[in-house]
């Protein structure tokens, strides 16, 4: 029928033009970037000092027992994060500069208040549904990266309270 949408492609059906040469030798789940190299768009941006990051976290919860109630106690919570990094040297401006901007968008419903009733939220994405600027900073490196200055709105955990191996326990 002419009205039906084109079929969706699975990861194994994505054309070779969207994959890096390294990706072609590996299964989809082992690619460096899940979406390939965007028909050359990702390397083109990288060569010019622009790095785009898109992250999405989806959490599904169901309160099966206890708490405030278990009737229709399924909830979905999503978190979209988009970040853009600018390397001033690769952009042809000056050496040693990096600018970063990121935003988050929370959406969904909270299982903690509606169904569980605990004092500490079950989900680290529990926050009011809204879109907000998360980070916007400029960092400049001096003396062959031995000294750095960073100014702007930033997540202090990224620089000061991020243990090297802490993520392995989350």
Q: How far is CA 68 from CA 47, 77, 100, 110, in A?
A: 54, 19, 42, 13
pLDDT, the chain, mean: 80
DSSP state of 11: G
pLDDT top residue among 4 and 91:
91
pLDDT value of position 11 = 46
pTM of the model: 0.68
pLDDT top residue among 24 and 153:
153
Segment 146-163 shows an average pLDDT of 84
Sheet holding 74-87, edge to edge: 50-62, 74-87, 97-108, 131-142, 147-153
Nearest CA to 130 out of 113, 115, 152, 108 is that of 108
Distance CA 32, CA 45 (A): 16
How many beta carbons lie within 10 A of that of residue 126, not counting itself?
Answer: 19
pLDDT value of position 100 = 96
Distance CA 106, CA 125 (A): 7
Evaluate if residue 12 carries a pLDDT over 50: no
Q: Torsions phi, psi of 119, nearest 5?
A: -85, -30
Segment 153-170 shows an average pLDDT of 73
pLDDT value of position 2 = 45
pLDDT top residue among 93 and 128:
93
Share of the chain above pLDDT 90, in %: 34
């Amino acid at each position: 029928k002419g009205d039906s949408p084109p079929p969706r492609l699975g990861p194994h059906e994505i054309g070779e033009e969207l994959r890096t040469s390294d990706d072609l030798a590996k299964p989809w789940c082992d690619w460096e970037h899940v979406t390939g190299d965007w028909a050359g768009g990702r390397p083109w941006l990288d060569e010019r000092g622009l790095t785009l990051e898109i992250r999405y976290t989806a959490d599904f919860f169901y309160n099966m027992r206890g708490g405030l109630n278990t009737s229709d106690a399924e909830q979905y919570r999503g978190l979209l994060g988009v970040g853009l990094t600018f390397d001033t040297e690769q952009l042809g401006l000056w050496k040693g500069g990096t600018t970063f901007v990121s935003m988050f968008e929370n959406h969904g419903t909270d299982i903690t208040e509606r169904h569980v009733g605990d004092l500490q939220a079950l989900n680290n994405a529990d926050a009011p549904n809204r879109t907000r600027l998360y980070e916007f900073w400029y960092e400049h490196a001096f003396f062959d990266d031995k000294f750095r200055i960073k100014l702007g709105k930033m997540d202090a955990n990224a620089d000061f309270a991020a243990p090297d191996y802490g993520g392995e326990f989350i």
